[in-house]
Amino acid sequence: DTGVSQDPRHKITKRGQNVTFRCDPISEHNRLYWYRQTLGQGPEFLTYFQNEAQLEKSRLLSDRFSAERPKGSFSTLEIQRTEQGDSAMYLCASSLKDRSYNEQFFGPGTRLTVL
């Protein structure tokens, strides 16, 4: 299967710990997006990359959050000093920029629980 993959699928951590999630996009896709989905809500945009450049960040992305895409392929999202409010599903999506709009394909998500 060549869809978007995310690892881990579930993460339970204690408040104050750091966590890192990984996203592997569809291989030829040059854009990669991170979204966060809390219970009962739709996903909210966090940030996106075109190749290795991070081109936009939401105000939701506090200083404790950092995302990288060092070689323009996979991406990592790190949360430092986790708080209970960080508990959510973190979704990754990828797309290929070749037209005015490009469909975003989503991965299964990483569910984070902060105790």
* Residue ranges that bind other proteins, judged by CB under 8 A: 3-4, 31, 33, 35, 40-45, 48, 55-56, 58, 91, 93, 100-101, 103-104, 106-109
Q: Classify burial at 22, counting beta carbons within 10 Å of its beta carbon; exposed 0-12, middle 13-18, buried 19 or more.
A: middle
Please, which residue, 75 or 107, has the CB nearer to other proteins? 107
Query: C-beta of 33: minimal distance to other proteins in Å?
Result: 7
Query: C-beta of 110: minimal distance to other proteins in Å?
Result: 11
Please, which residue, 17 or 41, has the CB nearer to other proteins? 41
- Could you give the C-alpha distances from 30 to 5, 18, 84, 97, in angstroms and in order? 15, 28, 33, 7
Cβ atoms 111, 8 nearer than 8 A: no
Query: Tokens for 42?
Result: 């739709």
Please, which residue, 23 or 114, has the CB nearer to other proteins? 23
Query: C-beta of 89: minimal distance to other proteins in Å?
Result: 10
CA atoms within 13 A on the CB side of 51: 1
Query: C-beta of 45: minimal distance to other proteins in Å?
Result: 4
